[in-house]
Amino acid sequence: MAKVISFENNPYQENTYILYDETGECAIIDPGMYTATEQNVVVNFIKDNNLKPVLLLNTHCHIDHVLGNKFVFDKYGLKPKFHQGELPVLTAVVSYAPQMGIRYEVSPLPDEYLPQAGAVKFGNTVLQLIFAPGHSPASLCFYDKEANILIGGDVLFRRSIGRTDLPGGNFTQLMDSIEQKLFALPDDCTVYPGHGPETTIGYEKQNNPFLT
């Protein structure tokens, strides 16, 4: 069964996730590592646990979630996978990073894009794709049914929701994504968001001020 570990990275306090299972294979999701220290923490965890990275996934392509894409490619030879609708979001990063004072190493482009539905696999783990636009034009969440965990990106947070004021954001779309897709998951599903602490679907149904 897959286990998840998170690392808080970069000035935006973004959560970088590693999912791994008993085979030793792992997926790196939303690599936000920015400094050498942040990079080393992730690399050392992978090394200390004898893990083999086989997938690099982006829930979406805002700067704080892709800062480590190039590093992961250089270190492990993995190109990112995300939905094609995020490509304009990724290509825009290079132009706005300097204005934000962020040093951005340009991410490689995918060899293949992820569909709106279906699954990706590593080891014995299957991650179902949930298309959840609204925070960004083509966000994907990754749901491991067996472990009952969701890597949710910036769609749903503990007692909050993703911002919709960035290019490609849409509040109505975001609410639809959460209420129709994420809230269809089991109440005891643990949600690991792009920022802040984990939560559960049931907790957010009861306590999220944007959704109750």
Residue 118: the pLDDT is: 98
The pLDDT of residue 144: 98
Q: How far apart are the first and last CA of the chain?
A: 32
What does each C-alpha distance from 38 to 21, 25, 76, 197, 209 come to in angstroms? 23, 21, 16, 19, 33
Structural domains present in the chain: 3-207 (3.60.15.10)
Q: Which two tokens stand for residue 205?
A: 């149904």
Question: What pLDDT was estimated at residue 108?
Answer: 98
pLDDT at site 212: 78
> Could you give the count of Cα atoms lying within 13 Å of 64 in the half-sphere of its Cβ?
16
Q: Torsion-angle region of residue 114: left (phi > 0), alpha (psi -120 to 50) or beta? A: beta
Which three-class secondary structure state does DSSP give residue 112? coil
* Cβ atoms of 195 and 15 closer than 8 Å: yes
In angstroms, the CA 145 to CA 129 distance is 11
Three-class SS of 48-68: HCCCEEEEEECCCCCHHHHCC
pLDDT tens across the length of the chain (212 residues) = 999 999 999 999 999 999 999 999 999 999 999 999 999 999 999 999 999 999 999 999 999 999 999 999 999 999 999 999 999 999 999 999 999 999 999 999 999 999 999 999 999 999 999 999 999 999 999 999 999 999 999 999 999 999 999 999 999 999 999 999 999 999 999 999 999 999 999 999 999 999 97
Which runs of consecutive H residues, i.e. helices, occur in the chain? 36-48, 63-66, 69-76, 87-96, 171-176, 201-207
Spatial strand order of the sheet with 52-57 comes to 3-9, 14-20, 25-29, 52-57, 80-81
Residue 77 falls in which region: left (phi positive, over 0), alpha (psi -120 to 50) or beta: left
- Show the tokens assigned to 40: 């080393």
* C-alpha angle 78-79-82 in degrees, rounded to nearest 5: 130
Structure tokens at 199: 């939560």
